């Protein structure tokens, strides 16, 4: 039986685990919903010794990457995967970036450092933009009154549906080591996505505001401080991957359908 060890079984990684389990894999994991505690070193090292594939979705902390710092010596000779962020490219003022673009110049310098360390170990580093999916999309923010439209005419970003991350990870199991962007085909503004979510729900869009008027958190302000379009051509060419949800329109339609299927009857 093929085994995958996942560090950090959260929203995205749990869907990867479910997909592989359906294919007959055994999945062992740490994290909120995991099977082992991260700091149970004996159990984790024993499981790693008997595992041929390791995936980490754990973000770096202020002091570095906790997975590599704690268990890096136990990862040799394995297939390695790392869920990184397109934030490593920094602000490109809306220009396109691919995997040849420089990293480490943006606000996520710790992430860029972890990204580089995983690459040096021969990992498949999957760089992800804004992740959305059932229960975690613009539809939910609109319903809960948390959606904003910010008056920034040049703002643009890429996104990826969680199930496209799953298919990209499965494709990377057979792919060469290196970095791959997994993103949709149509970068656009946050306002465009929010307005479409409102149309789907039959709700009037929120007012256009400045960031000060919207009283955004520091994290939200940092999101708007960087603009880039993420190219996914390498993943298409080398992994044979293509997004099932190429734009926010297909993705939000899927989220809406999932919400309706899960709604109490």
Residue-wise pLDDT for 83-130, tens only, equals: 999 999 999 999 999 999 999 876 678 999 999 999 999 999 999 999
Residue appearing with tokens 């899960």: 262
250 falls within a domain: yes
* Three-state DSSP class for residue 128: strand
> Which CATH number do you get for residue 99?
3.40.50.720
The residue with tokens 């394995």 is: 78
Q: How confident is the model at residue 31 (pLDDT cuts 50, 70, 90)?
A: very high
What is the total count of domains within the chain? 1
Q: Is residue 220 part of a domain?
A: yes
* In 88-221, beta strands by DSSP E: 96-97, 124-128, 130-132, 149-150, 159-161, 178-181, 208-209
pLDDT at residue 259, rounded to an integer: 81
Residue 25 lies in a domain: no
Write the pLDDT tens digit of every residue in 64-87: 999 999 999 999 999 999 999 999
Rg (the chain; Cα; Å):
19
Residue 52 lies in a domain: no
10 Å CB burial of residue 14 (0-12, 13-18, 19+) is: buried
**Residue labelled with tokens 């000060």:** 212
* 40 belongs to a structural domain: no
pLDDT 10s digits, 208-255: 999 889 988 888 888 888 999 999 999 999 999 999 999 999 999 999
Would you say the pTM of this structure is higher than 0.85? yes
Is the model's pLDDT at 265 over the cut of 60? no
Question: Does any domain span residue 64?
Answer: no
Range of the domain at 154: 78-262
């Amino acid at each position: 039986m093929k085994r995958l060890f996942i560090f950090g079984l959260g929203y995205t990684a749990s869907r990867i685990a479910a997909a592989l389990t359906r294919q007959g894999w055994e999945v062992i994991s740490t994290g909120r919903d995991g099977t082992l505690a991260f700091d149970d070193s004996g159990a984790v090292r024993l499981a790693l010794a008997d595992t041929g594939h390791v995936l980490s979705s754990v973000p770096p902390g202020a002091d570095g990457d906790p997975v590599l710092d704690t268990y890096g010596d136990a990862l040799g000779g394995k297939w390695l995967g790392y869920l990184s962020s397109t934030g490593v490219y920094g602000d490109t003022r809306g220009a396109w970036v691919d995997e040849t673009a420089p990293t480490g110049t943006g606000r996520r310098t710790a992430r860029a450092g972890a990204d580089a360390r995983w690459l040096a170990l021969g990992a498949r580093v999957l760089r992800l933009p804004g992740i959305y999916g059932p229960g975690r999309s613009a539809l939910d923010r609109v319903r809960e009154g948390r959606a904003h439209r910010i008056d920034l005419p040049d703002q643009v970003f890429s996104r990826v549906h969680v199930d496209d991350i799953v298919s990209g990870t499965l494709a990377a199991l057979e792919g060469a080591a290196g970095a791959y962007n997994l993103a949709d085909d149509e970068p656009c503004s946050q306002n465009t996505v929010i307005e479409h979510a409102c149309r789907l729900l039959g709700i009037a869009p929120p007012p256009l505001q400045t960031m000060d008027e919207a009283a955004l958190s520091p994290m939200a302000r940092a999101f708007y401080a960087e603009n880039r379009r993420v190219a996914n051509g390498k993943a298409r060419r080398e992994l044979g991957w293509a997004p099932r949800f190429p734009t926010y329109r297909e993705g939000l339609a899927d989220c809406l359908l999932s919400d309706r299927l899960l709604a109490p009857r």
